[in-house]
Structure 1
Amino acid sequence: MQNATYAANRVKLNFVRTLTLRQLQIFVVASRYTSFARAAEELHLTQPAVSMQIHQLEDAVGLRLFERVARKLTLTEAGEVLTHHASRILGEIKDTEDAMMSLKQADSGSINVGIVSSATYFAPKLLAMYSHLYPKVDVHFSVGNRDALLRLLQDNAIDLAIMGRPPPELDTTAEPLANHPQVVIAPLNHPLCGARRFDLQELRRDTFLLREPGSGTRMAAEVMFRQHLFTPVKTITLGSNETIKQAVMAGMGVSLISLHTLQLELRTGEIALLDVNGTPIERTWQIVHLRSKQLSPTSVMFRQFLLDHAALHLEQEYAAFAGVFAKPPVGAKR
């Protein structure tokens, strides 16, 4: 039994090794016309060349594929079966060729993008703009904190990441996209609302609402505390920007947060910006990928789209708040 199985597998292997795609192409055309002469004409070959390729294919298969009945060429049962499978094989190859060509042209294919949660307030608009320009491209994005995106990059699960501080712990290429200001927010009834340029120590009695460890916003707050030799009387850790904003509006405390998460609340006047010395903290949005990652032409085009449009988009979206921290004229009262 084992010998019979081995022999059968050897026959299959020899069959696959012997036949060629050219033979299948010639066979499919010949089966369509059931005429070697018509096939030769379409393929720009001689009739003897077509006959030779068909005979070689029959030798590889071990069965006759054509027969003459009343002087007419027809397909045998084996020929009918092989026509079906050969057409599928050639169709798959054509689909593969089209897919590779689309990747070369960079106007189709797919991209996997990771986005830190603070970037979800503007990145989807940029993705929508890109999808409108390149509707054949499928853009898939994953949202998480900074640590989560680093894991996705390391696992090669995403092509590109939009984040703040580039990761020194990974060998990456990072390119700046746009300015990314961090601001201190408070409820509208906070006693320092409207005060100009006061020191962070004035908030020492306030509860600071912080993002979870591993978040870039949490890291920015901790750096600010160290630089100002500041220790808040109390901190509360919350898991999202939305939760922090709601907690601030409810009077639970103050927080350092990305300005780019606040457009709705600032437009509706539901939250206050505090004019703390050293703020806004100017950070930078980055587009990041592993240095070892061979980006597809589609990913390269998408990265360039972000580099060309992100800064201008954010400037336009937040132009109304550009002067919030403007310094008063010389001699003006504070």
Structure 2
Amino acid sequence: MKNVTFRKLQSLLAIETHRKIVDAAKALGLTAPAITLQLKQLEEDAGVTLFERTPHGMFPTEAGKVFLEAAKEIDERLQRLDDDVNAFRRVKRGHITVGAVSTVRYFAAPLFAAFSKEYPDVHLELIIDRRDETIARLKDRAVDIALLGRPPRDISVRATVFGEHSLVVVSAPGHALAGKRDITKAEIANEHFLHRGRGSGTRTFFERFLKDIPGRLDGPSTEMETVEDIKQAVMAELGIAFLSMQSIAAEVQAGQLAVLDVVGLPIRRQWFAISRSDRAVTPVMAAFQAFLATRGETFLPNFSDPAKVPA
């Protein structure tokens, strides 16, 4: 493999991303024949096919995936080298990609704005998705840090706590249970629940909370794509929901939603900033984690007012 160069590996990464030689060439500022030649040289040198050509685009073979993994590791190492050099020069610039679960969107704007103000030359990218997809991106090295309500168990990670959040059951203000004290699990078990699909963090805790109620997990419920859809449906009195307090702060304070006083709730959880333990921490990652550890909690909704949240 003496003829492998990083430029050729970059071409493989571009082909994987764009699926077409022409689009990969445009992304790299090269010509399509140049990309085609680099791919041909790599395949001839390796003696294997690296991409399957299909009517729907080009897809890596098993051998191609090995090359791509090496390319990603080299690219990551060069990015770390760039960050390290910048740190030595005391230039606070670089790039960080953060993955986060859906609830983070309710406090992301002020938090990220404050970080960007402190580090104006750092390019920060935020990807919000379900928990499963966020963890998958962490595994695939598509994000540098993930913001989650609990660390994954199937990969080795570093986890830093930066605040707390609470999980509660919420209804429309006119619901029969709104205002009632010490509601039991059995009472809410008969209600129609609105929730996210499997793989979301709140859905997981919902199932854990009611798992000791026979038949509840197969009871009346409706899956919805987003937390916003769920809140609108609850306000329309189509059911009740199990959500993070941070996702319903505005509606509770405006009197549009009511937090039910259910025995055993709220479930108090922590927010974690998580990175893979098998990769080096870049100066930019370290700066972001330190920012979260020292200031992150100040950007989380405050529910200390007893008139707005059940004790």
TM-score between the two structures when normalised by the length of structure 1: 0.65
Alignment partners' CA distance in 1, 2:303 and 2:123: 29
Shift of 1:124: 2.3
Between the two proteins, the alignment pairs up a number of residues equal to: 230
Q: Which residue of 2 aligns with 1:248?
A: 234
Q: Which residue of 2 aligns with 1:22?
A: none
1:102 to 86, 91, 95: 86
Q: Which residue of 2 aligns with 1:173?
A: 158
Superposed structure 1 runs of 4+ greater than 4 Å apart? 97-100, 227-230
Question: Does 2:126 correspond to 1:144?
Answer: no
TM-score between the two structures when normalised by the length of structure 2: 0.69
SS at match of 1:158: coil
Shift of 1:227: 4.5
Alignment partners' CA distance in 2, 1:244 and 1:157: 29
1:258-273 matches, within 5 Å, as: 258-273=244-259
SS at match of 1:176: strand
Shift of 1:229: 5.2
- The residue identity in structure 2 corresponding to 1:132 is K
- The residue identity in structure 2 corresponding to 1:101 is V
8 Å CA contact 2:303–2:309 kept in 1: the answer is no
> Which string of whole-angstrom CA distances, capped at 9 and with x for unpartnered residues, describes residues 191-239 of structure 1?
1111111202112321011111111111010111114557163011111
- The residue identity in structure 2 corresponding to 1:166 is P
Q: Which residue of 2 aligns with 1:120?
A: 105
Q: Percent identity?
A: 32
Structure 2: runs of 5 or more not aligned: 1-80
SS at match of 2:177: coil
Stretch of structure 1 that moved more, 230-239 or 154-163: 230-239
8 Å CA contact 2:162–2:293 kept in 1: the answer is yes
Stretch of structure 1 that moved more, 289-298 or 102-111: 102-111
Alignment partners' CA distance in 2, 1:306 and 1:169: 24
Aligned CA distance change for structure 1 residues 181 and 262 (closer, same or farther; 3 Å): same
- The residue identity in structure 1 corresponding to 2:208 is V
Shift of 1:324: 2.0
Aligned CA distance change for structure 1 residues 291 and 99 (closer, same or farther; 3 Å): closer
The structure that is helix-richer by fraction is: 1
8 Å CA contact 1:200–1:277 kept in 2: the answer is yes
- The residue identity in structure 2 corresponding to 1:149 is T
8 Å CA contact 1:103–1:296 kept in 2: the answer is no
Aligned CA distance change for structure 1 residues 314 and 106 (closer, same or farther; 3 Å): farther
SS at match of 2:92: coil
SS at match of 1:307: helix
CA RMSD of aligned residues (A): 2.1
SS at match of 1:119: helix
Q: Which residue of 2 aligns with 1:234?
A: 220
Alignment partners' CA distance in 2, 1:171 and 1:106: 31
1:212-223 matches, within 5 Å, as: 212-223=197-208
Shift of 1:325: 2.2
- The residue identity in structure 1 corresponding to 2:251 is E
> Which string of whole-angstrom CA distances, capped at 9 and with x for unpartnered residues, describes residues 237-257 of structure 1?
111110110110011111110
